[in-house]
Amino acid sequence: MSKGVNLKELSQRLNLSQTTVSRALNGYPEVSAETRKRVAEMADKLGYAPNSQARRLATGRSMAIGHVIPRSIHEMMNPIFLEFIAGAGETYSQHGYDMIISVVEDDREEDAYRQIASRKKADGVIIHGPAQDEHRHLLLKELNLPFVVHGRIPGAEKETSWIDMNNRRAFERATNLLLDLGHTRIALLNGLENMDFARRRRRGFEDALSARNLTPDAALVRSADMTEPYGCDSAMEMLNSDNPPTAFLVSSMISAIGVARAIGQCGLKTGKDVSIITHDDALSFLPNSGEVPIFTCTRSSVRYAGEKAADLLLNMIATPGAKPTSLHLDAELILGQSTGPAPTR
């Protein structure tokens, strides 16, 4: 349990060959039970742990998964990303994989992937935040680097492995709930709509409206980075307009908090005068739980998504030729305090 012996010393101490010791430790069959035990004991007496670089070199597998994060604020700052990472990281360490994260300038993202492939830094990667004009998957295929998408790449659903929640359906259901409560002027504060998930959410919103012969009012639909001020400012303007909305559908808890602030500042009451439904990624520092959660929401744990994405990826790496697989998660629709019947004038 200390100095750091290597395989050679260990095998000498045991009067065995490196081959045998290596096999004993790695569970190969051609070594007697007794020897294996002897080896194991000596190994932990001497605190032997194989040098990972050497092992990686010899096996040709780097035992690591890469996550490339463009430095741009649109991605890394995202607490959702953090939670995803936490989930994935757990899976990795359970399987002996390392997680390596590269924060790079936006214009060097492709370069980062190429490096991972050519220098064999990772055995696979995860694509975060697929956009409308996505291209990373093509590069990765060319590089022959296994990958899993968190989200979906429009037009490449069949040929890639991905995990995603049913964004369209979630927002359709949320919209329907509001409609059922009598709201007809519903605002949508969406995420950036060059992101695939945001498009799907908007589609769900629009589908629900048109199913009841309503059309969205362009003045009530916005799209931006999901910050708190975005929620507050947008809501403030809309509430002060001539024809204010009675309900808000918001893409993130953080912005929803902003909306609630705006509502309060206008002297109105959330869940009474104005309703809010938000999507809740179940971020651990923004709990929305309790008997009756603060916000009515569509909820889907992004941490869980991270775990599953990692599972998928590790499987792909273990069985190379396998067909792409994907996981479609459904969000729960949870009633909280932020919704109520549309106020009658």
Exactly one of 13, 40, 55, 324 binds DNA (CB under 7 A); which one?
A: 55
Q: Tokens 């409206």 belong to which residue?
A: 209
Does 256 help bind DNA (rule: CB under 7 A)? no
How far is the C-alpha of 286 from the C-alpha of 293, rounded, in Å? 11
Closer by beta carbon to its own copies, 2 or else 243:
2
Minimum CB separation of residue 328 from DNA in Å reads 36
Exactly one of 22, 62, 160, 252 binds DNA (CB under 7 A); which one?
A: 22
| DSSP 3-state of 69 | strand
Minimum CB separation of residue 226 from its own copies in Å reads 7
Give the Cβ contact number of residue 102 at 10 Å: 20
Closer by beta carbon to its own copies, 210 or else 284:
284
Go through 118-144 and write b for each residue having 16 or more CB atoms within 10 A of its CB, e for each that does not. eeebbbbbbbbbbbeebebbeebeebe
- What are the backbone angles phi and psi of residue 244, rounded to the nearest 5°? -70, 155
183: left (phi over 0), alpha (psi -120 to 50) or beta: beta
How far is the C-alpha of 20 from the C-alpha of 16, rounded, in Å? 6
Does 116 help bind DNA (rule: CB under 7 A)? no
How far is the C-alpha of 296 from the C-alpha of 274, rounded, in Å? 12
Exactly one of 12, 45, 47, 51 binds DNA (CB under 7 A); which one?
A: 51
Does 31 help bind DNA (rule: CB under 7 A)? yes
- For its own copies, the binding residues (CB under 8 A) are 4, 47, 49-54, 56-57, 62, 64, 69, 71, 73, 76-79, 81-83, 85-86, 89-90, 92-93, 98-104, 115, 117-121, 225-229, 254, 257, 260-261, 264-265, 283-287, 290, 294
Q: How many residues of this chain bind DNA (CB under 7 A)? A: 28
One character per residue 286-325, x = contact with DNA (rule: CB under 7 A): ----------------------------------------
Go through 232-249 and write b for each residue having 16 or more CB atoms within 10 A of its CB, e for each that does not. bbbbbebbeeeebbbbbb
Minimum CB separation of residue 65 from its own copies in Å reads 10
Give the Cβ contact number of residue 35 at 10 Å: 15
Binding site for DNA (CB under 7 A): 6-8, 15-20, 22-23, 25-26, 30-33, 35, 48-51, 54-55, 57-60
